[in-house]
Amino acid sequence: MMRSILIGILVLMAAGVGFITFQWYRTMNGGEPYGAAFSLVDQKGAEITEAAFRDQPTAVFFGFTHCPEICPTTLFELDGLLKKLGDEGKNIRVYFVTVDPERDTPEVLDAYVSNVSDRITGITGSPEKIAAMTKSFGIYSKKVPLDGGDYTMDHTASVLLLSNGGDFAGTIAYEENPDTALAKLKRLATEG
């Protein structure tokens, strides 16, 4: 019983720190929506800008197609949550932004994302533009060399939730309790 209370307090404290951090960001950013302006391409090669994140509730996950576990698991779980929401979540847009644009071309992203969901849109661009976008959204990513000349990517594993105005509305952590994640998406859908 005491352990559950302590865990609950820690979760509330972490949420409070996250909220304060993002409110500080908005204050420092002149009250503008979360993240900076960007111009990238989607998995079909069409231009996509920050406007896509600002006219409907949005879930954004940063990852890469060569990811062995976290990225495919997160995308699969997001698709499952959207299916559970049904019509209640039809206004939520979901984006998968690559942190590995050297390998993740629009064609590669299209094949990857299309195998998981028709509700998720892949986004890529030049390494410089992707780096600027990830930085503006507070996303950590780093290329990690592997033996034999290959590499992998370390990156933030949380899904960002943005309101229909582009404001930060929370996160879904990797392997978060599915009921909690579903409740967050329901709140995002209804509160926009």
> ∠ at Cα 67 (61, 73), nearest 5°?
60
Return contacts of 131-135, CB within 8 angstroms, 24+ apart.
132/36, 132/38, 133/35, 133/36, 133/38, 133/40, 133/97, 134/62, 134/97, 134/99
Relative to beta strand 93-98, strand 58-63 is parallel
Closest alpha carbon to 162 in 133, 135, 191: 191
66 annotated to a ligand binding site: no
State the Cα–Cα distance between residues 123 and 48, nearest whole angstrom.
8
155 annotated to a ligand binding site: yes
State the Cα–Cα distance between residues 48 and 58, nearest whole angstrom.
14
67 annotated to a ligand binding site: yes
Q: What are the strands, taking DSSP E only, across the chain?
A: 39-42, 47-49, 58-63, 93-98, 120-124, 141-145, 151-155, 159-162, 168-172
Q: What is the amino acid identity at position 91?
A: N
Annotation: binding site: 67, 71, 155
Annotation: binding site for Cu cation: 67, 71, 155
